Amino acid sequence: MKIGLAQVDGKYPNLALMKLSAWHKAQGDDAEFWNPLFKYDGVYASKVFNDTPENYYLPDGVVRGGTGYDFETELPAEVEKMIPDYSLYPEWTAAIGFTTRGCIRKCPYCVVPRKEGALRVVGDIYSFWAGQKKIVLLDNNLTAAPFEHFRAVCGSCIAEGLSVDFSQGLDIRLVTPEHAGLLARVRTFKQIHFAFDHVNYERAVRDGIKILIRSGVGISRLMFYVLIGYDSTPEQDLYRVELLRGLGVDPFVMPYNRRNSYQNNFARWVNMKAIFKTIPWEVYGPNRMRNEYAIKGGG
């Protein structure tokens, strides 16, 4: 059989398609990225984001899956357990996968609780690592896993000499000296991400950063996502960002509504570091908004 694999969106290699490819190849099938000019015996399409437009050239009978289509479709267990077929993405040099699914929290703006439910361990790095030097962990909230699991995952990465990306971030509210001690030892190839999504978490953010630094995690390795436009005021947005700046860690603003001009402008101000370091919001913000207003014909 000849199988076509269509990645509709997403910047990361598509894990579901890599596992489908591995499974079909193990059955003796051919699997490749779908090409609308060729005929296939079966086509799978995977879409991560629900605002990505559908690819209207997909053939009849295509099997669709991924959060961008629905929350229900899952890979069959025998496909889920395959080591991903990394040959689909020859430019990609890291292993990628989950050791846990789900989350202990139910943040209302997040799809994970609806899609994956409660947190549970589903494997270890050996479930998807194929000898690469780098590893991207897609766990939604690895710090919420039982500590033995966190220790085993970090310990395996340290023992194998891997450089890690905790791509979905860690939970600052749950960081203990034991977590921090392991994070100090594990090599990372990106900053370690946390979130400061609500001003009410200020105490946890301050305490967590102290624990990390005391345990030997360099401050330049830390970065905090700051969600704005969801249950926060502009004053609270500025307060959180300036608090992080004052503590010496990098903020990265995530606008809840990308069509909102304040949210976009605030995110641009913080995330373009050259601007953030030199121009205060009190100057940048009003100027930017005034210019936009003028461009739109407001005077």
Three-state SS letters, the chain = CEEEEEECCCCCCCHHHHHHHHHHHHCCCEEEECCCCCCCCEEEEECCCCCCCCCCCCCCCCEEECCCCCCCCCCCHHHHCCCCCHHHCCCCCEEEECCEECCCCCCCCCCHHHHHCCCEECCCHHHCCCCCCEEEECCCCHHHCCHHHHHHHHHHHHHCCCEEEECCCCCHHHCCHHHHHHHHHCEECCCEEEECCCHHHHHHHHHHHHHHHHCCCCHHHEEEEEEECCCCCHHHHHHHHHHHHHHCCEEEEEECCCCCHHHHHHHHHHHCHHHHHHCCHHHHHHHHHHHHHHHCCCC
List, in order, residues 6 or more apart from 80 with CB less than 8 Å away: 19, 74
Tokens of residue 292, six digits: 């936009």
Minimum CB–partner distance for residue 78 and ligand SF4 (Å): 27
The residue ranges that bind ligand SF4 (CB under 6 A) are 103, 105-107, 110, 112-113, 140-141, 171
State the nearest-atom distance from the C-beta of 145 to ligand SF4, in Å: 12
Instruction: Considering the complex, state which of residue 94 and residue 119 has its C-beta at the smaller distance from ligand SF4.
Output: 119
The nearest distance, CB 114 to ligand SF4, in angstroms, is: 9
Q: To the nearest whole angstrom, how small is the minimum distance from the Cβ of residue 253 to ligand SF4?
A: 15
Q: How far is the CB of 180 from ligand SF4 (least distance, A)?
A: 18
What size, in residues, is the chain? 299
Question: Which lies closer to ligand SF4 via its Cβ, residue 107 or residue 158?
Answer: 107
Write down the least CB distance from residue 252 to ligand SF4, Å. Answer: 15
Q: Min. distance of Cβ 56 from ligand SF4 in angstroms?
A: 32
140 vs 215 by CB, closer to ligand SF4: 140
Q: Which is nearer to ligand SF4, 17 or 142 (CB)?
A: 142
